[in-house]
Chain A
Amino acid sequence: MLKLDLHRKSFAGHTVLEDVHLDLKQGERVAIFGPSGVGKTTLLRIIAGLDKRFVGTREAPDEIALMFQNPTLLEWRTTKENLQIFHPASDEQDIQAALSQVGLQDKADHYPRQLSVGQQRRLALARCFLTPTPLVLLDEPFTSLDQSLRQEMLTLTRAFLDKTGSALVLVTHAQDEAEALGAKYYELRNAPQNGVEFAAL
């Protein structure tokens, strides 16, 4: 499903990632852990197809969902429009269902600035899972949240993943997040002796 053979990724001659191999089956979940600046976001952007300047090969589904640490919402569009714009094929009912699932059914016509931090995060989560995709990429989506919100987000994410059956690549700092989502746990070490292998078992 997802197969990445990354031989080298450098920025301006400075190698960030070397020999990272990923082979993910349908519905498989992995978490990538590593110190700040080791190249986790770089790796995720390559998996997402956003960065094509690397040495190696990538094979990935066309439909991918992505979520960052920041909710990254369209502040000038309402909650409902924030979902519709990214999921043009979904109808009113799908949108309402997704909003209810994250507890935003009464906020359809609010602008992001009128939502609390937690509500904004949940909206970003709904956007990520509204249309089932074979692959979901999450870049530290639970970092810097207070404990109760983090638990809530983890529970919601787990429910979404179980429902859609998507494969997951999660970048995180915390091991318990990987466990909560049922993801296998890998570490990304400093280049050039990265040598990470994520092979499907």
Chain B
Amino acid sequence: MRRNTGIRIFSLGLFLLFWNGLSVLLGDQQVLPSPLQVFHEMSVLWQQGKLQENLVATAWRVAAAFGLAMLIGGAFGYAMGRSDGLDAWLDPWLIIFLNLPALVLIVLCYLWVGLNEFAAVLAVTLSKVPMTTTIIREGARNSSSALRDLASVYRLSLLTKLRHIVLPELFPHIVSAARTGFSVIWKIVLVVEFLGRPNGIGRQIHTQFSLFDVTGVLAYALSFVICILFIEFAIMQPSEKRVGRWRVDAEA
């Protein structure tokens, strides 16, 4: 599936070399530490238990906001895609929320709800729901009316319809909502933590920032990026492939 794996790995090596060269050239560890220094910092933080603790706190927020945004956005998107009346009513709201900067939502949530966990997850969820809604709505609009007719005449149960018709039909849109959602959410979560949480990667970056500790910033950031890449390659892509088996073109 993934072509040119060798080239990709080699290119990654080149990036580390480039980084290392730049750090040597600048000659100041305060400005740009070498990759080895950052990896060392990561292992120190790991041994202190700080890395795991903050990664887990952030991951939990990402997971909660992601799940909620997919559920709420999915429900709204499906309903709006299926009903023109509802779409007319809700579309202006959708456009407003779609264009509301995440930062504004975060600040407002903290001001109105308070500096707590609920406000943090709510802010991230709200900033993602409109995008999910838009993507799922597009899928629902393109759904097959013939299949719906068939399901209705054969009187399929709601659960059967959901499992075998609605969800598989929406699947490409769900995947694309999940993809964009995931990549947006973890960035917003860092901002939320930066502004008002006592733990998490965003909080640590805030702390390292006030200490002018570039190595610390990079150590936390890099470990988080590694986690994200792991989820991408170990969970997202394989599950996509598994559910997409039926797309095989006539080969029998």
Residues of A within 8 A of B (CB): 45, 48-50, 62, 64-66, 68, 70, 72, 74-77, 81, 85-88, 107, 110-116, 137
> Contacting chain A: which of B176-184, B215-223, B242-250?
B242-250
- Residues on the A chain within 8 Å of B164, using CB: 74, 77, 81, 85
Residues in B whose Cβ lies below 8 Å from that of A74: 147, 164-165, 168
**CB-based contact B149/A88 at 8 Å:** no
Shortest CB–CB separation between residue A18 and chain B, in angstroms? 24
**Contact B150 A72, beta carbon cutoff 8 Å:** yes
A137 / chain B contacts, CB cutoff of 8 Å: 153
Q: Which residues of B contact A112 (CB under 8 A)?
A: 246
The DSSP consensus for interface residues of chain B is helix
- Given A74-B168, A75-B246, A113-B250, answer yes or no on A86-B146 (Cβ-Cβ < 8 Å): no
**A–B Cβ pairs within 8 angstroms, 12 of them:** A48-B149, A48-B153, A66-B153, A70-B146, A72-B144, A72-B146, A74-B147, A81-B164, A85-B160, A113-B250, A115-B250, A116-B250
**Contacts A68-B146, A70-B146, A88-B160; A113 near B247 (Cβ below 8 A):** yes
Is B150 a contact partner of A66 (Cβ separation < 8 A)? yes
**A77: min CB distance to chain B, Å:** 6
- Interface assignment of B154: CB less than 8 Å from any CB of chain A: yes
Chain B neighbourhood of A50, CB < 8 A: 149, 152-153
A174 CB to closest chain B CB (Å) equals 22
Q: How many A-B residue pairs have CB under 8 A?
A: 64
Residues B153 and A111 in contact, CB atoms below 8 Å apart: no
Residues of A within 8 A of B169 (CB): 76
Besides A107-B252, A113-B249, 20 other A-B contacts (C-beta < 8 A): A49-B152, A49-B153, A50-B149, A64-B153, A66-B150, A66-B153, A66-B154, A68-B146, A72-B147, A74-B164, A74-B168, A77-B246, A85-B156, A85-B164, A86-B154, A110-B252, A111-B248, A112-B246, A114-B252, A137-B153
Expressed in whole angstroms, the Cα–Cα distance for A72 and B169 within the complex equals: 13
Complex contacts, A86 vs chain B, CB 8 Å? 150, 154, 156
The B126-183 residues at the A interface (CB cut-off 8 A) are 144, 146-147, 149-150, 152-156, 160, 164-165, 168-169, 171
Cα A115 to Cα B165 with chains together (Å): 20
